[in-house]
Amino acid sequence: MITKEISKAKEVLINNQLVAIPTETVYGLAGNAYSEMAIKKIFELKKRPYFNPLIVHIKSISSLFEIATDIPETAYMLAEKFWPGPLTLVLKKRSHISDLITAGKETVAVRVPNHPLTLALLNEIDFPLTAPSANPFGSISPTSAQHVFNYFEKELDVILDGGECEKGLESTIIGFENNKPILYRHGSIAAEEIEQVIGSKIGMKTVDDQAPNAPGMLTRHYAPMTDTYLTDNITEFIKDFEGKKIGLLLFKDAVTDHTIIRQEILSSSGDLHEAAKNLYAAMHRLDQDKLDVIIAEKFPNEGLGKTINDKLERATKKE
């Protein structure tokens, strides 16, 4: 059921079952972070490999000490600046945090999501929520209750409807190595914004965020079912697909070619925030069109353009 009533979500969570929750980034598939049963269900429902750890969602920065310990000063600075918001911190875990959540690591990923419904829900329950994005492993992340419904209509009793996600891209993940911040995943907060707060360039280790400790594992992710490509020269690239049903994913300008079936323009004014917000919904629409091919164009490689390019590269990765 799609509902706005947090009491319904609360009831389900207390019974160790799962609900979909809205956040400002993407919808999450949430369970009680202190229930092994709920955690296992998340992995099963998503068909997610157990080596891929989950994020713990807390109601405020004051709950952080329940989850993590040995917190670097820089982590506090970032949390104070960006929480509630699309920043995930990877910190040393407290011993009671389940190894299932952390995939056996000594660190745990944690954030305070910025959505009124989910914050209200977190304030109604006495446990944190662990939640990956509410999509089957490897597929496009959901940015509306309807997207979640399309994936998990049968499996989920409660989908909490908080409207369209305001940011539309996952949180930015920052870890610490030798007390220095490292960017693990490009997300809704541009690397440049993080650098402004920490006062220096940030190191990056984003090679494969789906399998940080499993070299050579699949990097394909956020992927439509339709064959999808990424190019920096769209007009040249489409020539190779003459006679095919083509859909395009574009930044600001349409392509003049009447044979193209759908053109998704993410921001006609060239605003990267607007483009980010629209990206996944456009990918979902293109994927439903039963096209032969989706062709995306590369974004300017700055600010959120870097995050969008990162997602598009993973979505088009040929293995």
The residues of the shown chain that bind ligand TXA, judged by CB under 6 A, are 23, 25-26, 28, 52-55, 86, 88, 90, 102, 105, 107-109, 113, 131-133, 170-171, 173, 175, 184-185, 209-210, 212
What is the C-alpha end-to-end distance of the chain, expressed in Å? 37
- Least separation in angstroms between CB 25 and ligand TXA: 3
Give the H or E element holding residue 143: none
Label residues 156-174 b or e (16+ Cβ within 10 Å = b). Answer: bebbbbbeebbbbbbbbbb
Q: Of these partners, ligand TXA, Mg ion, none, which one is at the site of residue 315 (CB under 5 to 8 Å by kind)?
A: none
DSSP state letter for 255? -
Residue type, 245: K
User: Per CB under 5 A, which region of 29-37, 38-46, 84-92, 133-141 contacts Mg ion?
Assistant: 133-141
Answer yes or no: are the C-beta atoms of 40 and 133 closer than 8 Å. Answer: no
Please, which residue, 133 or 171, has the CB nearer to Mg ion?
Answer: 133
Cβ nearer to Mg ion, comparing 23 with 133: 133
Are the C-beta atoms of 30 and 131 separated by less than 8 Å?
yes
* Identity of the residue, 109 or 266, whose beta carbon is nearer to ligand TXA in the bound complex: 109
Choosing among Mg ion, ligand TXA, none, which partner's interface includes residue 172 (Cβ < 5 to 8 Å by kind)? Answer: none
Indicate the residue among 86 and 247 with the shorter CB distance to ligand TXA. 86
Q: Minimum distance from CB of 267 to Mg ion (Å)?
A: 23
Alpha-carbon distance 183 to 90, whole Å? 10
Report in angstroms how near the CB of residue 198 gets to Mg ion at its nearest: 25
Separation of alpha carbons 277 and 143, rounded Å: 9
Residue from 35, 52, 133, 144 in contact with Mg ion (CB under 5 A): 133
Q: How far apart are CA 300 and CA 304, in angstroms?
A: 9
Distance in angstroms (rounded) separating the CA atoms of residues 157 and 46? 15
Nearest residue (CB) to Mg ion, 133 versus 278:
133
**Considering the rule CB under 5 A, would residue 25 count as an interface residue with Mg ion?**
no
Residues that bind Mg ion (CB under 5 A): 133
